[in-house]
Amino acid sequence: MANHELTVEVEVFGEAIAEVEAIAPATTWQTWLQTWLRQLAPTLSPIQAYELSLQFTTDAGIAALNRDFRQQDRPTDVLSFAGVDDTPLPLAVLATIPFNLGDLVISVETAQKQCDAHGHSLREELAWLAAHGLLHLLGWDHPDEAQLQAMWAMQRSLLASVGLSLPESAYVAETG
């Protein structure tokens, strides 16, 4: 297999995009997600080409998705819809097109409430949620406290790789 440079195509959109663009334009999300995927080094694409969408929405928008897909009729902070299905594409096809990781949907309203409660910026909270969602797209999960702490540790590492951190955040595991 030839050695390919990892690439990612990110479509950034949504009804809350204007607020997000003011603090982190689409080019920033593209850079962050590419940096994170390089760090995570997934092996889903033989040509190391990936694509995903990143939608910034409202509480009403994410509540509708949460109701329709998770049977929970309330807003949440981030939803991840993996692009992988039960029938993988043939290798010959994967060698010619980007691998679709899936879709991330983030509620900017819920993110604002969380960053206010945890004492960091909206930019940091949105990056935290995008990193969390990306890990879910790559198969990470947190059914117990140990796996949640491992996921949060990876999120902190991903944020650090793009110059962000949540030093005073409730998301940082307590020691001792």
The letter for the amino acid at 77 is: D
136 annotated to bind ligand = yes
Q: Which two tokens stand for residue 62?
A: 């994410």
Distance CA 113, CA 42 (A): 32
Tokens of 109: 């309203």
* CA atoms of 127 and 121, how far apart (whole Å): 10
Contacts 24+ apart (CB under 8 A), 93-96: 94/45, 94/46, 94/47, 95/46, 95/47, 96/47
4 is in an annotated binding site: no
Strand 49-57 and strand 7-13: the pairing is parallel
| 142 marked as part of a ligand binding site | yes
Binding-site residues:
132, 136, 142
Binding-site residues for Zn(2+):
132, 136, 142
